[in-house]
Structure 1
Amino acid sequence: MPRTPDSEEPASDQDEEPWLGSDEVSALWQVREHWLPSVARLADVRVRTYGGESRGTWGAAPTFYDYHPGDARRAATAVAEGRVDIPSGWRLDTPGGRLAEYGGLFAFRLGCLAFLASVLFGVWMLVHELVSS
């Protein structure tokens, strides 16, 4: 089953190549996933969006993007040759972009570790208090 969500353009052919997901395009362009829709606008790539429905007071559902395969490949060449002006913080092949991508993940993991350590310390203190009394 091809990943082709609803679009304004009617499907012309059942043999249409499946549109590319964010993971594939991120690897192709070497751009952080968060910035893919912005880079797609800069490179004139057709994008299909789905999701993002309102959940009332709970906000909105996540929005997902699929990218036209031909446009994405054309844009990959333009991005690699530097014809699309992309800030270095958006890219995965620059030190600033890698730091932003993996630094956030490191900070998240470090926060989880600190939380887990504090919970374990609290449990240890509670058990120690119960045993000593």
Structure 2
Amino acid sequence: MPQTPEPGSPESAHEEQRWLDSREVAELWPVREEWVPGAAGRAEVRVRRHGGESRGTYGAAPTFYSYHPEDVRRAATAIAEGRVDIPSVWRTDTPDGRRAEYWSRFRFRLSCTVALTLVLCILGLAVYTVVS
């Protein structure tokens, strides 16, 4: 695997490129978007982390990641050639990954349907109470 610079190494101003977000990286790699940070760590891609600071009792702020474009291109080749070990459920090109994606979407849609049904029942009950 080619040597990559240290994650904290600065780049000169004229070499600075726009870093990619998780969605753009997921389009280049056969990896589900929520697993891109883990796959980037396994592929030795430089990552910038934004947010995630503590909010005390209220948990933490959302964390966003940016990925170095050259490292992403290098890792795309390594992932395609199978030189990076990525679990099959993280990938979009395996039956396990497609099954996991299906069930996560199914659970999301089911929970939205249940929530909408609950809201409509509450509204119907409120209207019935006011009218009668």
The alignment-based identity, stated in percent, is 60
Structure 1 residue runs without a partner (length 5+): 1-6
Residue aligning to 1:82: 82
**Alignment match, 2:97:** 97
Structure 2 residues without counterparts, runs of 5 or longer: 1-6
Q: How many residues align?
A: 126
**TM-score, structure 1 length as denominator?**
0.81
Structure 1 pair 113–49 and aligned structure 2 pair: CA distance change class (3 A): same
2:56 maps to 1:56: yes
Matches of 2:73 and 2:113, distance apart in 1 = 40
Aligned to 1:3: none
d(CA) in 2 for partners of 1:59, 1:31: 28
Cα distance in 1 between the residues matched to 2:129 and 2:14: 69
| Aligned-residue RMSD, C-alpha | 2.0
Question: CA offsets, 1:31-86, max 9 Å, x none?
Answer: 11222122112111111111111111111111111111111111101111111111
Structure-1 separation of matches of 2:62 and 2:49: 10
CA shift at 1:15, angstroms? Answer: 4.6
Quote the residue 2:45 is aligned against. Answer: 45
